[in-house]
Homo-oligomer: A and B are copies of this chain.
Amino acid sequence: MKRINKLKTVLEKGEIDGYLTMNVKNIYYFTEYMDISNAHLNLIIPVDNSPILLTPPLSYVAASEDAKECHIKNIGAQGKFFENIVKEIRELKMKKIVFDALTMSLYLKLVKEMKNTHFNYDPSIVAKLRRKKDNKELGYIRKAAALTDKGVEAGLEAVKPGIHEYEIAAEIEYAMRIRGSKGTAFETVVASGPRSAYPHGVCSDRIIRKGDLVILDLGAIYSGYCCDITRTKIVGNPSSKQLRMFNAVKKAHEEAFKTLRAGIKTRDVDAVARTVLAKEKLDKFFIHGLGHGIGLEIHEAPTLSSRSNETLEVRNVVSNEPGIYIQGFGGVRIEDTVLIHKNCGENLTKATYH
């Protein structure tokens, strides 16, 4: 209810009558009901009334058990979703509505039917609320982090010459799943040899060889909350170029971590990592931002990059992931999930750097 009240406060300030969403993560955030049936659900949060959750019959029973604070309304087997939303909006006399996720067909029908209601697309309102995690959320993310550590440890253990990339992914995912992870937060990356130069290289059927750089990037999910970790392993004796790359990224990761705390501009943290790499003339290979927020989604607010104008707050959870990618040669990335405190960051992922 606290989350709903915070939203209502923001809406009231903006003189908005209500909030409308079909985003399952946002519905979970406000109702504690995570739909598992891939059904279309719709949550309406009027500023001066109780939230209404519209569900199809298959989701009705489960939604009623979980979403205690909502009026749950079954839209029936005919799936008259549009008609039900129009009816609710009319009864509530809502004239100015913000939404962050509607199917294109529903949006087009709504604006055509309800000419006197303003539907304003603004995903930033809820994104901003979701940045600051409450204790319940942090508990879930800590559990996801512990599972993620188990996954990366199993992966580092499995990396050896002769094994396929996808087999390493199988070991990683099994280690997390058997301990209670709800699948993976994103498609597991096992990118080896020249493929490690692809920042999001997922898995192929490439066989690991001696001398490979191998990037493992993975995450568990616990009660809907994600975690994110990356480790890079060098198979066999590292070359001097590999070592130079590894040490530079490790240093960039450490120096950036030291600056993490509430009140710092995210672009300043990004700049610290970039400066470390520049000293080794490797900064031009750092082709992405330093990090991103983590929560119900693996990528959410805030963004840590040179183009970002955001400032970190207490209870933000972000990734710290410098990386360098040399096409045709390989890449190195090191990443932890970090909780932001008043004066420091706290690494929630704790696996060895190898």
Contact = CB atoms under 8 A, between A and B. Distances in A.
- State the main secondary structure of chain A at its contact with B: loop
A170 B166 contact: no
A155 interface: no
Contact of A200 (B36, B170, B177): B36
A177 B183 contact: no
B170 A177 contact: yes
A81 to B, nearest CB: 14
A329 interface: no
Given A62-B198, A287-B58, A177 B169 contact: yes
Interface string A130-155: 00000000000000000000000000
Interface string A248-259: 000000000000
A38 B200 contact: yes
Contacts of A180: 164, 166, 205
A299 interface: yes
Interface in A176-226: 177-178, 180, 182-184, 186-188, 198-203, 205
Nearest to A174: B174
Contacts of A121: 104-105, 108
A178 B175 CA distance: 13
Nearest to A172: B177
Chain A interface size, as a band, is: 35 or more
A198 B78 CA distance: 19
Contact of A199 (B37, B199, B200): B37
Contacts of A203: 182
A243 interface: no
B102 A200 contact: no
Given A38-B299, A105-B121, A173 B166 contact: no
A282 to B, nearest CB: 17
A36 B105 contact: no
A121 to B, nearest CB: 5
Contact of A104 (B102, B105, B184, B200): B102
A107 interface: yes
A3 to B, nearest CB: 23
Nearest to A169: B177
Given A58-B200, A182-B203, A183-B187, 14 more contacts: A36-B187, A36-B201, A36-B202, A37-B200, A38-B186, A38-B299, A61-B198, A78-B307, A101-B104, A166-B180, A166-B182, A174-B177, A182-B187, A183-B184
Interface of A: 36-38, 57-58, 61-62, 78, 101-102, 104-105, 107-108, 121, 164, 166-167, 169-170, 173-174, 177-178, 180, 182-184, 186-188, 198-203, 205, 287-288, 299, 307, 327
23 contacts: A36-B187, A36-B201, A36-B202, A37-B199, A38-B186, A58-B199, A58-B287, A61-B327, A78-B307, A101-B104, A104-B107, A105-B121, A166-B180, A166-B182, A170-B177, A170-B178, A173-B173, A173-B174, A173-B183, A180-B205, A182-B187, A182-B202, A183-B187
